Chain A
Amino acid sequence: MSAVSAAARRRLGAALAGVGALAAVAVLLFPLYAVVVASFETNSELFGASRYSFFPARFTLSNYRVVLSQQGSHVVSSLIIAAGTAALTLAIAVPAAHALARYRFAVTGLLTGSLLAAQILPSIVIANSLFLVYHRLHLLNSYPGLVIADASYAVPFAILVLRAFMLALPRDVIAAARVDGATEWQAFTRLVLPMSRPAIITIALFAFLNGWGDFIFALTMLNGNTFEPVTLSIYTYIGEFSQNWGQAMALAVFAVLPAAMLLIAAQRYIAAGLTAGSVKG
C-alpha cells in the first residue's frame, strides 16, 4: 500500500516539477515571443492602442519590407565582422593551444595566467585605450580594427578551452606517429587538428557569436559613416525613431537569428563550450 502511494507521490512530484519548469521556460522565452509578434505589427497597433495585446489581430510584413531595404547592408556587415572574428580567433588560438598543450615553455604559466586575467578585463577599459591607439594607427572605422578588438572577447576563452581539450588527447597516438616518421607539422595537421574538431567548432561558434553580438567596440570605434553592424543600428534606431518599435523589433529578430539557428543546429557544441569555459577547476 505504502509503496503504491510512494510511487504516486513521486509521479505527482514529477508532474509538478514539469509544470514548474515549463512555466519558468515560458516566462524566460516570453520576451522573444513578444519581439516576434511586435515585428509583425503596425505602429498604430503597437502605440495607437493604450494596452499591450498578447495576441494581435492583424499581421503585416511592412516592418520587414522596410528593414530589409534599409538594413540589409548592416546585416552583411555583422556577418563580415562575426566571420572575421571567428577566423582571427582560430588563427591565433589553434596554434597557440597546440603549442601550450604539447611543449613546455618557460612562459606557460605566465601566459595562461594572463589569459585568465584577460577574460576578466572589462571591455570598456580596452575600448577607451584602443580608441586612441586606433586613432593613431588609422584603424578606426575599419573592419580589421573592429575584428581585432572583437577577438579580445574570444581569444582567451578559445586558447584555454582548446588547450584543455588537447591536453586530454591520447599522447601515445601522436608519439607513435612521430616514431613512424611523421614530422611535428604532420602530427599537428593530420592528428591533432582532426581529433580536436569538436572543440575547434565550439570556439569558432563562440567567437562568431561574440563578433555578432558586439556593441561596445562598434559604438566606440565606428562613426556610422562607413559601415555599421546590426547591434549599432538597432541602437541608433531606438534613438532616432524611438516611436517605431515595429521596425526596431523586426531588426531585433535579425539580430537574434544567428543565436537561435546555432542553438538548433549546434546545441551540443554550445553546451560543451558553456561547461568547458568554467568547470575546469
Chain B
Amino acid sequence: MSQLSTADAGRLPRQARRHGGPPGLPGRRQVRLLRLARWLFLLPAVGFVVFAFVVPVVYNVVLSFERTSPATVAHLAAPFAGLSNYWVTLRDPVADSAIVRTFSFTVLSLLFQFVIGFGLALLFCVRFPLRVLARSLVLVPWLLPLLVTGVIFRFLFQLQAGAVNQVLLGLHLVHRPVGFEVDPGWAYLTVLVTNIWIGVPFFTVLLYSALQDVPAELLEAARIDGAGPWQRLVRVRLPLIRPVAEVVLVLGFVFTVKVFDVVIGLTGGGPANSTQLIATWAYNLSFQEFDYGAGAALNTVLLLIALAAAPLYIWLNRASLRGDTR
C-alpha cells in the first residue's frame, strides 16, 4: 500500500478502494492491463463473429421483410414489406418443391453415405495389402473443391461420350444412352450420386476410427460366447460406435442441407428447375432476379431448417462449452 502514490490510488478499481485493497500488491494496474490483454486476444475473433455471422443473419431477417429492388441495393434499407416476401416466395411451386427436394435429398444422401461409409470402414478393419494406401486415397473426393466435383460429374454423366452411359451400355443395363442431363428424374439422381460420392470419405474415415476404438477383447469375448459375425456387428460394434455415428450424422445433415456448389456445377438447378434446392433457388432469386428480399425470405427458411440441428449439435459438442477437454 505504501508503494502506491495517491495518483495510483485514484486509478484503483472501485472495489479495491472500498476495501483498501490487498496489501503489498504492486500490480493492481498490471492486473487490469493483463485483463485487458486477455480481451485483446479475443477481440479479433469476437469482431469476426459479429461481422461475418451475426450481422449477416440479422440483416438477412431484416431483408426478408423489405421490398427490395436493384435500385435499393445502393442503400442498406428498403421499404417495409410485411410478410409479402414470404407469401410470394413460399407460394411459388418451384420454391415448394425445392424445400421438399432438399429434405428428400438430405435423407437419401445421409442414408447411402452412412451405409456405404460404414461398409467401407468395416472392410478397412480387416488386414489386407495396400490397406494404408487405400485408406488415405479414400479421402481424396472429400478434399476437392465442390464446384469442381460438380463439373467433373457433369462430364461423366454426359449423353453421348459420357463414361457412366458407356458403363451402363457395356453392362447391358440400358439399351440406349440415358439422358441424365435432360430428364428431371435422372438429373436428380445424378446430383444425389455425386453428393453421396463426396460424403462417403468423411463417413468412412470417422466410422473407421470409431471402429478401431472398439476393444478387441470385447469382440473376442462375444465370439467365444457364440455370437456370430452379424450379432457381433449389431450387438457389440454398433452400440459402441453410436456416439460417433450420431455426431457424423448431425454433421452430415448440416453439410447436406446447404449444398450449393455441386448443384450449380452439375445441373445449374435444371432441367426446368428439377434439381433446385433451397440454397440454389435462394441464390437464383437474389442474384439472377435481383429480388434480395425474396431470396432472404427463402434463406430464412433454410436458416431455420439448418439451425433446427443446432441444439442437437451443440449438445453433442457439450464438452467444448465447458472448460475441460472431454
Contacts and interface: CB of A to CB of B under 8 A. Distances in A.
A94 B247 CA distance: 25
Contact of A123 (B44, B59, B258, B309): B258
A245 B160 CA distance: 13
A214 B126 CA distance: 37
11 contacts: A15-B128, A28-B200, A120-B313, A125-B56, A128-B295, A133-B55, A164-B320, A216-B261, A235-B151, A252-B151, A279-B244
Interface stretch (B15-23, B83-91, B138-146, B231-239): B138-146
B324 interface: yes
Nearest to A103: B38
Interface string A41-62: 0000011011110100000000
Contacts of B76: 132-133, 136
Given A20-B123, A96-B45, A281-B243, A128 B296 contact: yes
Interface stretch (B6-14, B184-192, B281-289): B281-289
Contacts of B202: 274
Interface in A115-135: 115-133, 135
Given A122-B302, A184-B34, A279 B137 contact: no
Contacts of B120: 21, 24
A271 interface: yes
A168 interface: yes
A116 B60 contact: no
A95 interface: yes
A191 interface: no
Given A51-B166, A124-B258, A238-B154, A116 B314 contact: yes
Contacts of A152: 52-53
Interface in A144-198: 148-149, 151-152, 155, 159-160, 163-164, 167-168, 184-185
B310 interface: yes
A215 B323 CA distance: 36
Nearest to B280: A124
A231 B152 contact: no
Main secondary structure of the interface of A (DSSP, over half): helix
A116 B34 CA distance: 28
Interface of A: 13-15, 17-18, 20-22, 24-25, 28-32, 34-35, 38, 46-47, 49-52, 54, 91-93, 95-96, 98-100, 103-105, 107-109, 111-133, 135-136, 148-149, 151-152, 155, 159-160, 163-164, 167-168, 184-185, 209, 212-216, 219-220, 230-231, 234-235, 238, 245, 248-249, 252, 255-256, 259-260, 262-263, 267, 270-271, 274-275, 277-281
B46 A168 contact: no
Contacts of A34: 152, 155-156, 163
Q: Which residue, B127, B155, B279, has most C-beta atoms of chain A within 10 A?
A: B155
Nearest to B75: A136
Given A31-B152, A31-B153, A231-B148, A281 B314 contact: no
B49 A115 contact: yes
Contacts of A267: 136, 139
Contacts of B44: 91-92, 95-96
Contacts of A249: 152, 155
Contacts of A14: 126-128
Contact of B160 (A47, A92, A128): A47
Contact of B306 (A121, A235, A260): A121
A263 B326 contact: no
B28 to A, nearest CB: 17
A207 to B, nearest CB: 13
A263 B310 contact: no
A230 B325 CA distance: 39
**10 A-B pairs closest in CB distance:** A18-B128, A213-B145, A96-B45, A122-B258, A129-B56, A99-B41, A17-B126, A259-B143, A215-B147, A52-B166
Nearest to B201: A28
B51 A122 contact: no
Given A93-B45, A99-B38, A234 B147 contact: yes
Contacts of B313: 116, 119-120
